[in-house]
């Protein structure tokens, strides 16, 4: 987990870079929707709450490109993901097996997250 090769572009202190090769950052604390935060030196306004342990794009990631975390590919971007955008099941898919989640069901039945 070295960031020696990382150009010193500013990131919000609540964002964690796990490996210099990564194109995503991990939230080390919850970030509230509406906050403006620094991501790779850009000012990004976060639309929705980003809970602890989630990822956002460190750079623009092209649709079809590998998403890199821990210095290793963790899936493919299914669409372009812009710098600062939440990278998750809505725009990243596995190269192995599809991810099962209940996010759509929660919305359908109106349950609180």
Partner 1 sequence: MTMLGFPRSDGRKGIRNTVVVGYLVECAHHVAREIAIPLRDRDVHVIGFPGCYPNSYAETMMERLCTHPNVGAVLLVSLGCESFNKYRLEYAIRESGRAVMTIVIQAAGGTRKSIDEGRAFVAEQRALLDEMTPVPMAAEELVVGTICGGSDGTSGITGNPAAGRAFDMLIADGAACIFEETGELIGCEHIMADRAVTPDLGRELEASVAKAARYYATLGYGSFAAGNADGGLTTIEEKSMGAYAKSGASPIAGLIKPGDIPPRGGLYLLDVVPDGEVRFGFPNISDNAEIAELIACGSHAILFVTGRGSVVGSAISPVIKICANPETYRRMADDMDVDAGRILEGKATLDAVGAEIHDLVLGLGSGMRTKSEELGHQEFILTYKTFEPIGPACLPAA
Binding residues for partner 1, rule: CB under 8 A, are: 16, 18, 26-30, 51-55, 67, 69-70, 72-75, 87-89, 92-103, 113
Q: How far is the CB of 75 from partner 1 (least distance, A)?
A: 4
Rounded CA-CA distance 83/11 in Å is 11
Q: Which is nearer to partner 1, 62 or 103 (CB)?
A: 103
Q: Which is nearer to partner 1, 43 or 103 (CB)?
A: 103
Rounded CA-CA distance 113/111 in Å is 6
Beta-carbon neighbour count of residue 27 at 10 Å? 20
Q: How far is the CB of 36 from partner 1 (least distance, A)?
A: 21
Q: Which is nearer to partner 1, 20 or 43 (CB)?
A: 20
Contacts of 53 (CB under 8 A, 6+ apart): 26, 27
């Amino acid at each position: 987990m070295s960031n020696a090769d990382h150009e010193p572009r500013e990131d919000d202190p609540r964002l964690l870079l796990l490996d210099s090769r990564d194109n995503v950052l991990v939230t080390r604390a919850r970030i509230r929707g509406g906050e403006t935060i620094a991501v790779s030196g850009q000012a990004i306004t976060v639309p929705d709450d980003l809970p602890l342990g989630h990822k956002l794009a460190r750079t623009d990631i092209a649709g079809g490109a590998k998403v890199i975390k821990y210095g290793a590919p963790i899936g493919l971007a299914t669409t372009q993901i812009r710098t600062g955008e939440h990278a998750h099941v809505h725009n990243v898919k596995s190269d192995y097996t599809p991810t099962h989640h209940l996010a759509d069901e929660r919305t359908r039945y109106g349950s609180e997250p």
